[in-house]
């Protein structure tokens, strides 16, 4: 991974021997634009969202370049990171196609308030950015490091738990809002016995909760119970895996156990740091600070990082003796 630089390509670009293609992806159709050596026109082809059709198209363009007297040594493909993730890049790499995934926020766009936006214009924008990156010029775009299937799978429990915690908070807030609508402020929705107290609840007007409101609260508490069980299942499974790994074995689990020994850091935080932060090959201290939100990203204003630091909560130092 030391040879990878997200900001520019470290491989010399021989444009006369390279087929360069970019993909504008949607759920059902892909628009593929290319620069083919020996072919004056810049091909633009819309295909079904199918990897085999894409590979067939790339090979066809390579054959067209060969017929024009160009020996193709390299096929480079790029697309923006999005819903489809990294599977297509891994699939192409397994078939000797150089594939890259572009950070969408790193591509410069027009600052006009209203600008034309079509798939064709998007492919032209991606092609300009990708060509600059391949030439080794900085500030055109930034590439994402493509994780392995195992690395992506290791991140799923932590991310699923984060979504479930968000869902738990949403349900609790919804219960509080319903109760506040009737002037009830004594019931704590986070209490394990909260659902059993619904029958005896009375509104601020002294009347019991009506049937529809009580039924809605019961359904919310049932949903909250399911979410809690799923969070508990994720946490118990993680602890089981950590306990099953031998103490002397090296790897992510050993790193989680080591970080969990730090005072004030639990297993949840340690697991997040190992799988989300330490697994990434950040280039330098600036990249680490940028990932943590302490400095601005390349596409932000120059004072964005300073605002983040200035607005961050500061713990007052103890008075000097």
* Closest-CA residue to 78 (of 37, 130, 33, 43): 130
85, two tokens: 């993730």
Question: Quick check: 22 and 32 in contact, CB under 8 A?
Answer: yes
Give the pLDDT band (50/70/90) at residue 306: very low
Q: pLDDT value at position 202?
A: 84
Q: Identify the weakest region by mean pLDDT among 15-24, 238-247, 310-319.
A: 310-319
Q: pLDDT value at position 194?
A: 86
> Which DSSP letter does residue 104 get?
G
175, two tokens: 């219960």
| pLDDT average, residue stretch 22-51 | 93
Give every CB contact of residue 135 below 8 A, 6+ residues apart in sequence: 9, 13
Residue 304 has pLDDT above 70, yes or no: no
Q: pLDDT value at position 98?
A: 95
Q: pLDDT value at position 241?
A: 81
Q: Tens of pLDDT along 52-91? A: 999 999 999 999 999 999 999 999 999 999 888 899 999 9
Give the pLDDT band (50/70/90) at residue 127: very high
Q: Identify the weakest region by mean pLDDT among 110-114, 191-195, 198-202.
A: 110-114
Q: pLDDT value at position 316?
A: 45
In this structure, is the dihedral angle defined by the CA atoms of residues 21, 117, 146 and 94, taken in order, positive or negative? negative
CA distance 107 to 26: 18
Q: Tens of pLDDT along 165-178? A: 999 999 999 999 99
Fold of 15-144: Nucleotidyltransferase; domain 5 (3.30.420)
> Which DSSP letter does residue 195 get?
G
Rounded to two decimals, the pTM is: 0.74
254-292: buried (b, 16+ CB within 10 Å) or exposed (e) per residue? bbbbebbeeeeeeebebbbbbbeeebbebeeeeeebbee
| pLDDT average, residue stretch 130-154 | 89
Q: pLDDT value at position 305?
A: 46
CA distance 74 to 71: 9
Q: pLDDT value at position 247?
A: 65
Question: Quick check: 61 and 43 in contact, CB under 8 A?
Answer: yes
Question: Quick check: 104 and 80 in contact, CB under 8 A?
Answer: yes
Domain boundaries, the chain: 15-144, 156-244, 246-277, 282-321
Q: Tens of pLDDT along 197-209? A: 888 888 888 888 8
- Pairing type for strands 74-80 and 18-25 reads parallel
Of residues 18 and 200, more confidence is placed in 18
Residue 288 has pLDDT above 90, yes or no: no
Q: How far is CA 64 from the centre of its chain?
A: 37
What average pLDDT does the chain have?
Answer: 83
Residue 314 has pLDDT above 60, yes or no: no
Question: Quick check: 125 and 107 in contact, CB under 8 A?
Answer: yes
């Amino acid at each position: 991974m030391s040879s990878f630089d997200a900001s520019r390509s470290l491989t010399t670009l021989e444009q006369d021997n390279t087929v360069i293609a970019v993909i504008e992806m949607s759920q059902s159709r892909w628009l593929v634009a290319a620069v083919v050596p020996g072919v004056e026109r810049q091909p633009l082809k819309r295909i079904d969202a199918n990897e085999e059709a894409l590979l067939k198209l790339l090979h066809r363009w390579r054959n067209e370049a060969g017929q024009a007297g160009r020996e193709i040594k390299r096929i480079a493909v790029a697309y923006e990171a999005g819903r489809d993730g990294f599977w297509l890049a891994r699939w192409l790499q397994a078939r000797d196609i150089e594939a890259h995934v572009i950070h969408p926020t790193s591509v410069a766009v027009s600052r006009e308030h209203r600008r034309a936006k079509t798939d064709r214009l998007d492919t032209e924008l991606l092609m300009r950015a990708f060509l600059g990156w391949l030439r080794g010029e900085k500030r055109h775009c930034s590439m994402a490091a493509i994780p392995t299937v195992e690395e992506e799978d290791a991140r799923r429990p932590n991310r699923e738990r984060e979504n479930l915690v968000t869902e738990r908070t949403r349900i609790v807030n919804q219960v509080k809002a319903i109760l506040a609508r009737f002037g009830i402020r004594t019931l704590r929705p986070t209490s394990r016995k909260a659902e059993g107290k619904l029958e005896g609840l009375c509104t601020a007007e002294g009347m019991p909760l009506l049937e529809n409101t009580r039924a809605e609260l019961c359904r919310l508490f049932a949903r909250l119970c399911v979410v809690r069980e799923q969070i508990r299942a994720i946490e118990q499974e993680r602890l089981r895996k950590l306990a099953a790994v031998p103490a002397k074995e090296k790897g992510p689990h050993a790193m989680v156990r080591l970080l969990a020994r730090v005072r004030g850091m639990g297993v949840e935080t340690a697991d997040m740091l190992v799988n989300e932060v330490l697994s990434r090959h950040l280039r330098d201290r600036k990249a680490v600070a940028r990932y943590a939100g302490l400095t601005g990203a390349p596409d932000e204003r120059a004072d964005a990082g300073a605002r983040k630091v200035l607005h961050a909560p500061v713990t007052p130092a103890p008075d000097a003796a």
